[in-house]
Structure formats: structure tokens, C-alpha cells
Structure 1
Amino acid sequence: MIDVIDFKQSVIDVQLTPGLPSYMQALWYDGTGDWKTAYDLIDQLTDQRSAHIHAYLHRKEGDIWNADYWYKRAGKTKSQVSLAEEWEMLVKEYCR
């Protein structure tokens, strides 16, 4: 797995690290500003990590009802921090 510093640098450099799981690729694309590709990567996945990122992406989109559904599927409570802070928290949580 990639560490947080390397992951964030890959976003800055716009150089996707090969072999990242789909949920990390979704965070990467979102970090580069490509919400649609991020969403397309995560949309059909049902594991808890993917559901958590799916929730964040719906929150970012402004679809709060759908975000709430996916937070529940992920076993998480809806984030109350800014979207940028939530992205950072997701990266830190899943870059292990």
C-alpha cells in the first residue's frame, strides 16, 4: 500500500500509482478534480471502504440523501467537516 505522503504527492504530480485498489483510485481521481471518474470507479463496489468513499462523493455532489444511505452502508456517521478535510481523513484512514 502507498503511504499518505506518497499518495498526496502522486495527486499533485498527476501520476496515478499503479496497482492501487479501486477505492484509492477513486480518492486519487477526486483529488485531481475528476469527480466523475472517481464516482464511476466506486459506483458498483459494495465493500465498506468503497461505501465510505461513495458516501463522501455523494456528499460532495450535494446529494445528501444518497450520501446518508452510503454512510450507513459503510457503518460510518456523516462527516461534519469540510469536504477537503474529509478527503484528507479518508486518505489517512485508507493509506495503511
Structure 2
Amino acid sequence: MAKPKSYEDFKQTLDSPNPPTDWPEALKALWFAASDNWEASHDIAQDMFNTMGSWIHAYLHRVEGDKFNAGYWYRKAGKSYPSVSLEQEHQEITEYVLDN
């Protein structure tokens, strides 16, 4: 399956049992996060040794309620701790991945 063109297209894939194997790791991590599979998403994000991995990692620790750990990963990603909802942040990160 081709990479989705929009966040709406991305959300339509969530009915599948797994994300497509040919998707970038960041998009797979976000898919698992949207599918309430924190562990699978975290496993991918912590193996991404780049800014995007740090941003997803930060988001995941925010989801889990670990503000201290999330703050560390936001700093590693060069991001401020967000004031938007978790849903809005997930959409923002996903749209960034889709556009880049």
C-alpha cells in the first residue's frame, strides 16, 4: 500500500491488522500509536536514532503520562513541550511525516 497522501487517508488504514510493511518506520510507529499499541510504537521509535524518532518518543511518553521523560525527548527533538491535545499532536506529527 502506498504512503497515505493525507491524515484522513492515514486514519482509514487503521482498520487493517497492521501497517503496510513498505511504510517508513516513523509512519508505522504513528500507526501503532493511533491503534492503541503503545509498546509496538515505542519499540519502533526508540530504534529511530534521529530527530523524528525523538519527537515520536516524546509524544509516546506524553501519552503514558510521563511528563519528565517526555520533556527529555522533546528537548532531544528540538521541540517545546506541546500545549495541544494528544490527538492534535498525533495529527501534527503524522502530517509532518506524510509531507516529508
The answer to whether TM tops 0.5 is yes
CA RMSD, aligned part only? 1.3
Aligned residues: 95
User: Which ranges of structure 1 fall in alignment gaps of 5 or more residues?
Assistant: none
Distance 1:79 1:72 in 2: 11
C-alpha displacement at 1:6, in angstroms?
A: 2.4
Distance 1:69 1:3 in 2: 31
TM-score (norm 2): 0.86
Assess if the C-alpha contact under 8 Å between 2:42 and 2:57 holds in 1.
yes
C-alpha displacement at 1:44, in angstroms?
A: 2.5
User: Which segments of structure 1 move beyond 6 Å, counting only runs of 4 or more?
Assistant: none
Match for residue 60 of structure 2?
Answer: 57
Cα deviation 1:12-50 (Å, max 9, x = unaligned): x22522311111111000111111110111113221111
Assess if the C-alpha contact under 8 Å between 2:47 and 2:53 holds in 1.
no
TM-score (norm 1): 0.89
Distance 1:94 1:6 in 2: 13
Assess if the C-alpha contact under 8 Å between 2:54 and 2:74 holds in 1.
yes
User: Which ranges of structure 2 fall in alignment gaps of 5 or more residues?
Assistant: none
Q: Does structure 1 residue 40 correspond to structure 2 residue 43?
A: yes
Secondary structure of 1:81's match?
coil
Q: How does 1:7-18 map to 2 (within 5 A)?
A: 7-11=10-14, 13-14=15-16, 15-18=18-21
Letter in 1 for 2:91: E
Distance 1:3 1:57 in 2: 23
Letter in 1 for 2:59: Y
Distance 1:90 1:70 in 2: 14
Letter in 1 for 2:80: T
Secondary structure of 2:63's match?
helix
